[in-house]
């Protein structure tokens, strides 16, 4: 399987090259040249496999330059019980919804599903491509990617990892997770601004050839652990197959029955993986894109116009506070018949004017697979309270956005196919918001972050993860803050 760029380029590369590079030369994103397909019997067979084996099946179809032995090691290592417990991606039945929980990894957000795998793929890719340089993984994070990347790459030979996060754009637990990270090859710095500022700054560093030359002189090459990296997306495709296999196993569906997925969306990586799964033969009905108040994707899916010129809202689901959704580029590439020129024009228009329109044909193609909805803070917090009160199930604010949108979708369309709500974080990463939803704003005002978590444990009955409890006593090691324009200098300091 070769990989091609979403923007004008003749180049075709192996998966290992795509993973090491992160982004293609001309600024495009790597996509598989074609979609491998799984027959119904292949999917049926997954029902009796543990998660690591399911992941290996999916990865084998994409990463054909890795040996089966290598992928076996990667999957067994990444999804080992000491990292994810007995089931990395369980599907829970909550009332008439199926909830796919993706937050049982070391940092308690769905980013672990890919970021425990990526370092394993990366170190092998470095060997395959015979690159004799150290890889510096640069990350812009809206909260969860940063910690998951630090945890994934910490101590990994031949790599360093550097994380930029928006100074006031992440939850207290997310921030503490990052600034207490130990390890010799890790760097963390806050950026004055929001996630888009941090992401734009990182993209600028990636695009600066002079700087790349400077780093090269120090024996360093940059790569990305954001979901623009193919090595992030491929592992995410696996859990959609896994969810379906679980539904077969539990008898909730029979092979071939279509299911809908409702995905809380920010950078469009998670839901794009679901679209890829559909293209590979997984019986998926609708993919419902759930946004918070930063509903640029909702408007795009409804109207075919992507317009990032709008106020940025800080919400209780900060990992979705994004106006420039990187992975949408990969979907556009598929929807317009893989026309690299057109994708480049849209991305140029986005860069210069913050807006582009895709036209009726592409919009119609989009509507064949996607639906969309959005829920503001109030609706999401009400969903947390309602679901907890009625069914004893506690959701984090991102999952709650998806739940509210899934309910609204059903009421609006009367679509009766099974619905899988994708659950992306542990409620304890957002204790204050979740507790506030359950007991009222007034009750949490006097409490500090840790008291909120304790009280949440009492009220919800859900056990707090040990690593989040341990944050209270950890030393804060990374306290730097920079302006967006100074991010490159910060990287220079890391590599001195």
Ligand X SMILES: *Cc1c(COP(=O)(O)O)cnc(C)c1O
Which residue lies nearer to ligand X by CB, 271 or 447?
A: 271
> What is the rounded distance in angstroms from the CA atom of residue 385 to the CA atom of residue 378?
11
Q: Which residues pair with 139 in a beta bridge?
A: 163
Contact 469, 175 (CB under 8 A): no
The residue ranges that bind ligand X (CB under 6 A) are 109-111, 144, 227, 264-270, 319-320, 398, 424-425
d(CA 13, CA 156): 25
In angstroms, give the least distance from the CB of 436 to ligand X. 17
Q: How far is the CB of 3 from ligand X (least distance, A)?
A: 19
Are residues 301 and 278 in contact, defined by beta-carbon separation less than 8 angstroms? no
Q: What is the nearest approach in angstroms of ligand X to the Cβ of residue 87? A: 19
How near is the Cβ of 167 to ligand X at its closest, in Å? 18
Dist CA 208 CA 163 (whole Å): 18
DSSP state, 463? P
Q: How far is the CB of 264 from ligand X (least distance, A)?
A: 5
- Looking only at the bridges linking them, the beta strands covering 220-224 and 134-140 are parallel
Shorter beta-carbon distance to ligand X: residue 380 or 425: 425
Measured distance CA(216)–CA(487) in Å, rounded: 18
Q: Any idea which residue has 């994103």 for tokens?
A: 29
Q: What is the 3-state secondary structure (H, E, C) of 144-197?
A: HHHHHHHHHHCCCCCEEEEEEEECCCCCHHHHHHHHCCCCCCEEEEEECCCHHH
In the three-class reduction of DSSP (H, G, I as helix; E, B as strand; rest coil), residue 406 is classed as helix
Q: Which CB atom, from 62 or from 66, has the smaller least distance to ligand X? A: 62
Specify the length of the chain in residues: 496
C-beta of 232: minimal distance to ligand X in Å? 9
Nearest distance in Å: CB 403, ligand X: 13
Contacts of 69 (CB under 8 A, 6+ apart): none
The pair of three-digit structure tokens given for residue 177, joined into one six-digit string: 């997770």
Residue closer to ligand X, measured from CB, 66 or 275: 275
Of the pair 109, 438, the CB lying nearest ligand X is at 109
Nearer to ligand X, 7 or 232 (CB): 232
Q: What is the helix (H) or strand (E) element at residue 166, kind and residue range?
A: strand 159-166
Cβ proximity to ligand X, 98 vs 124, nearer residue? 98
CB 380 within 8 A of CB 292: yes
Least distance (Å) from ligand X to the CB of residue 69? 30
Residue closer to ligand X (CB basis): 16 or 274: 274
């Amino acid at each position: 399987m070769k990989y091609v760029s979403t923007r004008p380029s003749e180049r075709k590369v192996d998966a290992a090259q795509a993973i090491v590079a992160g982004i293609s030369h001309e600024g495009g994103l790597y996509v598989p040249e074609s979609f491998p397909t799984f027959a119904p019997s292949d999917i049926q067979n997954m029902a009796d496999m543990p998660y690591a084996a399911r992941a290996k099946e999916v990865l084998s179809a994409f990463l054909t330059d890795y040996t089966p032995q290598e992928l076996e090691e990667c999957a067994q290592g990444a999804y080992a019980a000491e990292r994810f417990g007995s089931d990395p991606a369980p599907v829970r039945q909550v009332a008439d919804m199926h909830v796919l929980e993706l937050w049982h990894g070391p940092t308690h957000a769905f980013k672990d599903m890919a970021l425990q795998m990526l370092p394993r793929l990366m170190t092998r890719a470095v060997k395959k491509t015979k690159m004799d340089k150290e890889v510096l993984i640069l990350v812009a994070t809206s909260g969860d990617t940063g910690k998951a990347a630090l945890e994934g790459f910490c101590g990994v030979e031949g790599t360093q990892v550097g994380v930029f996060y928006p100074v006031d754009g992440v939850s207290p637990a997310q921030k503490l997770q990052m600034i207490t990270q130990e390890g010799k090859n890790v760097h963390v710095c806050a950026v004055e601004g929001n996630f888009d500022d941090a992401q734009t700054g990182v993209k600028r560093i990636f695009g600066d050839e002079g700087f790349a030359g400077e780093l090269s002189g120090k024996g360093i090459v940059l790569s990305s652990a954001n979901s623009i990296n193919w090595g992030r997306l491929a592992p995410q495709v696996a859990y959609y197959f896994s969810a379906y296999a679980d539904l077969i196993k539990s008898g909730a569906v029979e092979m071939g029955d279509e299911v809908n997925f409702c995905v809380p969306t920010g950078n469009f990586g998670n839901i794009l993986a679901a679209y890829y799964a559909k293209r590979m033969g997984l019986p998926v009905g609708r993919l419902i894109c759930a946004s918070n108040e930063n509903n640029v994707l909702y408007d795009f899916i409804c109207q075919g116009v992507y317009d990032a010129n709008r106020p940025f809202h800080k919400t209780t689901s900060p990992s979705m506070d994004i106006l420039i959704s990187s992975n949408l580029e990969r979907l556009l590439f598929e929807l317009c018949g893989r026309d690299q020129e057109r994708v480049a024009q849209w991305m140029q228009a986005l860069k210069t004017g913050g807006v582009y329109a895709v036209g009726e044909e592409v919009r119609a193609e989009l509507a064949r697979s996607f639906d969309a909805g959005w829920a503001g803070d109030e609706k999401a917090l009400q969903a947390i309270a309602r679901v907890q009160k009625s069914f004893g199930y506690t959701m984090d604010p991102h999952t709650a956005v998806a739940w509210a949108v899934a309910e609204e979708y059903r009421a609006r369309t009367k679509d009766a196919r099974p619905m899988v709500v994708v659950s992306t974080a542990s409620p304890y990463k957002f204790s204050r918001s979740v507790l506030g939803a359950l007991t009222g704003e007034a009750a949490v005002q006097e409490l500090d972050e840790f008291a909120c978590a304790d009280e949440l444990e009492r009220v919800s009955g859900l056990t707090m993860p040990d690593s989040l409890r341990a944050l209270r006593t950890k030393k804060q090691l990374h306290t730097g803050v920079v302006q967006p324009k100074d991010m490159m200098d910060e990287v220079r300091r890391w590599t001195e």
